[in-house]
Amino acid sequence: NNYGRIYQIKGYSGSVSNDFKKIEGIVNAVLNSKRDIGDINGQDLRFMRSSSPNGTVIAFTNTAEEKIALKGIVDFSIYIYICCSFVFLLISFYLGKITTWPVERSFNQKKQLIADASHELKTPITAILASTDVLLSSGSLSEEDKSWVNGIKESATDMSALLTNMLSLAKADDEKVKRVETEVD
> 129-176: per-residue pLDDT in tens?
899 888 888 878 888 888 898 899 999 999 888 888 887 877 776 666
Please give the residue that has the higher pLDDT: either 92 or 108.
92
Report which DSSP code applies to 40.
Answer: E
Q: At residue 130, what is the residue type?
A: A
* d(C-alpha 80, C-alpha 76), whole Å: 6
pLDDT at residue number 88: 96
pLDDT at residue number 173: 66
What is the DSSP track for 79-124?
HHHHHHHHHHHHHHHHHHHHHHHHHHHHHHHHHHHHHHHHHHHHHH
Model-wide pTM > 0.75: no
Secondary structure element (H or E) that encloses residue 25, with its range: helix 16-32
pLDDT > 80? residue 66? yes
68-72, 120-124, 174-178: the lowest-pLDDT one: 174-178
Q: At residue 120, what is the residue type?
A: E
pLDDT > 90? residue 181? no
β-pairing verdict for 45-52 and 55-62: antiparallel
The mean pLDDT value for 111-120 works out to 80
Closest CA to 116 of 172, 177, 171: 171
* d(C-alpha 114, C-alpha 106), whole Å: 12
